Amino acid sequence: MARLANYAEFWPHYLREHARPETRISHYIGSILAIGVLIWALVTQTWWALILVPVSGYFFAWISHAFMERNKPATFTHPLWSLISDYRMLWSAITGKLPGELRKAGVTPAEAGESPAP
């Protein structure tokens, strides 16, 4: 993938690379787990556990790209934008805005695991 010029170009690309609902769910699991591990490590002052934050987050994401989406994770070409987008996608899903974002990015309802609009 060629490097994209700005985040506004990256976000739709990111969503298209996460078209399958199974991929998105795996990312949500990893993102929520990473937050949980971070909080646990800080509260308990278990500093060695901070290494588990990126491991827990990326493990689920990379597995989903390898076996479900069958594409290369955006982390390798745009690490910061990818991290921001992981949590933006999670927040969009929680707030109900993700279906609209997927449509704007050109992800079809069938790809997104939705029923086509009547």
* pLDDT tens per residue across span 12-48: 999 999 999 999 999 999 999 999 999 999 999 999 9
Structure confidence at residue 118 as a pLDDT band (50, 70, 90): very low
Q: pTM, whole model, 2 decimals?
A: 0.84
Question: Is the predicted pLDDT of residue 5 greater than 90, yes or no?
Answer: no
Q: How many domains does the chain have?
A: 1
8 in a structural domain: no
Query: For the stretch 67-88, what's the b/e string if a residue is b when 16 or more beta carbons lie within 10 angstroms of its beta carbon?
Result: ebbebebbbeebeebbbebbeb
Its domain, for residue 95, covers 26-107
49 in a structural domain: yes
117 in a structural domain: no
Most confidently modeled of 4-18, 33-47, 58-72, 104-118?
33-47
Question: Is the predicted pLDDT of residue 64 greater than 80, yes or no?
Answer: yes
